[in-house]
Structure 1
């Protein structure tokens, strides 16, 4: 592994805030491409999805090359909270109603198997990533109904899960009469330490990893990577959201920002566990935001309590009039209510979640392609969805029929979820009105160092940013994906597209797809 001297904005992590995982892991970097490459399998994306797929294919005897735009784990894997759970963020009674009991059972089985698979890999490779088996507790959000907890308990049992209905929610303050569902045999780990072990295994098995390696012009023949031709028989796009697809998949899933805080609590006060509430039933968002909490080892005296939630559509925080700062504050108030032993907040960050319109991820052959595969639609279960995707695609490349591949087929049409599909499509279409709305800054001279905004100049929309050297940078505010107007994210200091979730660093560099290219730079006086 080699450290780079010239780091682009967004190459270490896709935002200004640094997660606990990134802060406690050395930069995981490899060589940049220097020549054309020919291989059996080209994997694009160096997060948990890409590395797990690479590892499993190498174990099966395939020749694999993996390319990562930034560094290993610098995308959304490094900004997760790393719950390993089969307690899905869309209820099992919803899955039962949408897909049928047999499919709900397959969903539970696949996520359970994904946790088992991660544990096997940790054990086989002896990865020091603090993997633990823990219990998880699902309890009602104040806006939800008691009967829904009963429905979820029954649906979880029907799906074959090991659950119990409790008369309280263990270890949460003031919840002696707050019923909950206990999910046994869940898991947790330090995700970037896990990725470090996977990356080392990939290279030990003869795989090749390139970092700071930007892939574009993806076709069934391969891709252009930093201008070099990478030819492959199979191409796996494991980039959180597909960068090989212009429209098809981006009408089936929608990008949300989710917020995380982390602070110390005395070690041993509460056991390592996972907690989730059932989500805000009164939210304006189709994907009803919920809270999720877990512990992680910090030092000899303290554990780190990690709490997330307060989601909104990417680039649309203004729709609710709640700033990112206020969302962190709301999250802290909620967390201290249930965990009053929480000390000062040590970390805060946000991440991007792709919410599929029918709640299940999209893993397998890209619609219309025979040798291009995608892993996306992580919803709130990215660690297990990514692992399931790696298992399905490995089987597909090996010519083995996987029993979960139809359930997660990216080409599926789910008629019972068309109502949510139409709501999200309407929201997406409404964002194009930003072409005629006023800008959020009148004069770029008003921007202070570290600030950005959108400026209207006649019919042009300009994304402006003043860096910490007091130099003004300006770009077209038109997202190169499908022409939406990006919005300034003052928390992560990025320009975010409210239509399909593309994100760009303050220097215009693309850090999240589906956009493939940077914002067009504009010369300003």
Structure 2
């Protein structure tokens, strides 16, 4: 299952790290956040090296819907209550600045990536929720308004919150061009980091600063990011003969659908769920049924899925990695808005490394903690206990060992549509042969595991 982006862009492979190297800054992870961070630092005069476990853009960047927007669902009304007007305004400004920074880079580097300005919409049926969000966003200085007419949707809604002058693009065309002048090693997964040295199978990298931009850090401690972020999957169809939208759309609430155009194609997304749960229901088929209902003349070109890291308060962790790790930094938990927040992360991490002041630090700090975190951690702990309990019961009920996650031992669930073994505790995934697909696990499944479906 390849995304439309991989179908329409080929990126030449880089070599694997097979020697010991030294650099000023090491970036672990070659997705949008890692490549943007490396680019920003290299443009600022730093010597930077990127290590990617697979191919650059092979994770969430190659599976995104590629919307660059400061409109992150109906978030701003809630932010005003939870973090206050000052921090909510900084969050808004940071993501608005990200849109402009993309445009600046594309013009400066003369990148052809189908970048175009578009309005974005969050639609819904709740008048109260939409009115509250439009008022909050406008109060924070965002280009927001409440609209009820000219919504290009295949079903009725009460209205939508509209943001003007947002953007969309082809993420891999952009990533390909931006990465051309960076030092990158692919197929070079890091299995251990000690102080200022990262270890791969065939070589090491010693660096003054180390930045983790690998979706979710693979080190359990310090930081415990595996417990502070849970992972969710969502699904996309690229359709010919769908509909022409007048912007980028996403529904409010848990079961909203995403719509945007790319050339002649309509990208229809939705059916999100926590990784490792609800896998028995056919997500792609449900989307196909809706496509047939809404767009009976449509034809599917390709389909794909993405995996997003969700934090307790809806804000990514960007900044110093953990207490006692003075030269480590992290960017993780981008929710479903990784294109804009990747740029926020790149600009903020650049300023950390260059020892520049940046007001966004107060919003995105990984050090923050609130009562919401306590509730979130309790809930996540419940999922882990549930996964571990299932494994113990399975040990008693079955002959042989059931497939368990090598991360922390939770029993895996079979995902028939994607033919993968998924962990309901922390979101690691493995293909049908047991090979690692997604972390925080670092290793593939043990040969002793029974992979019977």
TM-score range, shorter chain: over 0.9
What is the Cα-based RMSD across aligned positions, in Å? Answer: 2.2
Kept after mapping to 2: 8 A contact 1:68/1:210: yes
Are 1:89 and 1:381, in contact at CA under 8 Å, matched by a contact in 2? Answer: no
The answer to whether structure 1 residue 220 and structure 2 residue 146 are counterparts is: no
1:259 maps to 235
| Aligned residue among 120, 126, 130 for 1:149 | 130
Bigger Cα displacement from structure 2, 380-389 vs 502-511: 502-511
2: CA distance between counterparts of 1:380 and 1:228? 34
Give the structure 1 partner of residue 250 of structure 2: 276
The correspondence for 1:304, drawn from 244, 262, 265, is 265
Aligned partner (choices 207, 231, 239) of residue 214 of structure 2: 239
1:416-464: CA deviations, max 9, x gaps? 454444334323332222213449xxxxxxxxxxxxxxx9425x22xxx
Contact 1:220 1:234 in 2 (8 A): no
Structure 1 residue 332: deviation in Å?
Answer: 3.6
- Say which SS state the counterpart of residue 258 (structure 1) adopts: strand
- Which consecutive residues of structure 2, in runs of 5 or more, have no partner in the other structure? none
Label 1:342 to 1:100 Cα distance change in 2 as closer, same or farther (>3 A).
farther
Q: Rate the CA distance shift 1:397–1:517 in 2: closer, same or farther, 3 A.
A: same
Q: Secondary structure at the match of 1:160?
A: coil
Superposition map of 1:348-363 within 5 A: 348-363=303-318
Contact 2:92–2:140 (8 Å) recurs in 1: yes
Number of matched pairs: 448
Aligned partners of 1:220 and 1:235 also within 8 Å: no
1:464-483 paired onto structure 2 within 5 Å: 477-483=403-409
2:100 maps to 1:116: yes
Residue 18 of structure 2 is matched in structure 1 by 34
Q: Relative to structure 1, is the Cα distance of residues 139 and 417 closer, same or farther in structure 2, using a 3 angstrom cutoff?
A: farther
TM-score if structure 2 supplies the norm length? 0.93
> Contact 2:33/2:343 (CA < 8 Å) preserved in 1?
yes
Given the alignment of the two structures, is residue 390 of structure 1 paired with residue 346 of structure 2, yes or no? yes
Contact map agreement 2:244 2:266 (CA 8 A) in 1: no
CA drift at 1:336: 5.8
1:63 and 2:63 are equivalent in the alignment: no
Which secondary structure does the structure 2 equivalent of 1:329 belong to?
Answer: helix
1:290-333 residue CA offsets vs partner (Å, 9 max, x unmatched): 32111101xxxxx1100111111101125xxx52x3x2233344
**1:448-504 CA distance string (max 9 Å, x none):** xxxxxxx9425x22xxxxxxxxxxxxxxx2222111122222222222111111112
Structure 1 gaps of 5+ residues are 1-16, 280-287, 298-302, 440-454, 462-476
CA contact (8 A) 1:28 1:71 kept: no
SS at match of 2:198: strand
Provide the residue aligned with 1:292 in structure 2: 258
Q: CA deviation at 1:34?
A: 2.0
Q: Which residue of 2 aligns with 1:78?
A: 62
Counterpart of 2:9 (choices 7, 18, 25) is 25
Cα-to-partner distance string for 1:263-299 (whole Å, 9 max, x where unaligned): 0137xx63551011111xxxxxxxx3432111101xx
User: Given the superposition, is the C-alpha separation of residues 317 and 437 from structure 1 closer, same or farther in structure 2, using an over 3 Å criterion?
Assistant: farther
Q: Does 1:185 align with 2:151?
A: no
Separation in 1 of the partners of 2:246 and 2:152? 10
Residues 159 and 523 of structure 1, relative CA distance in 2, 3 Å threshold: closer
2 CA distance for matches of 1:420 and 1:90? 20
Contact 2:73 2:122 in 1 (8 A): no
Counterparts in 2 of 1:342 and 1:398: CA distance versus 1, 3 Å: farther
> Secondary structure at 1:87's aligned position in 2?
coil
Decide whether aligned partners of structure 1 residues 191 and 160 sit closer, same or farther in structure 2, where only a CA change above 3 A counts. same
513-522 or 345-354: bigger deviation: 513-522
Equivalents in 1 of 2:316, 2:30: separation in Å?
19
1:173 deviates by: 3.7
- Distance of 2:56 and 2:372 partners within structure 1: 38
Write the distance in 1 (CA, Å) between the matches of 2:215 and 2:144. 30
Q: Residue 313 of structure 1 corresponds to which residue in structure 2?
A: 274
Equivalent residue number for residue 370 of structure 1: 326
Matched, 1:516 2:435: no
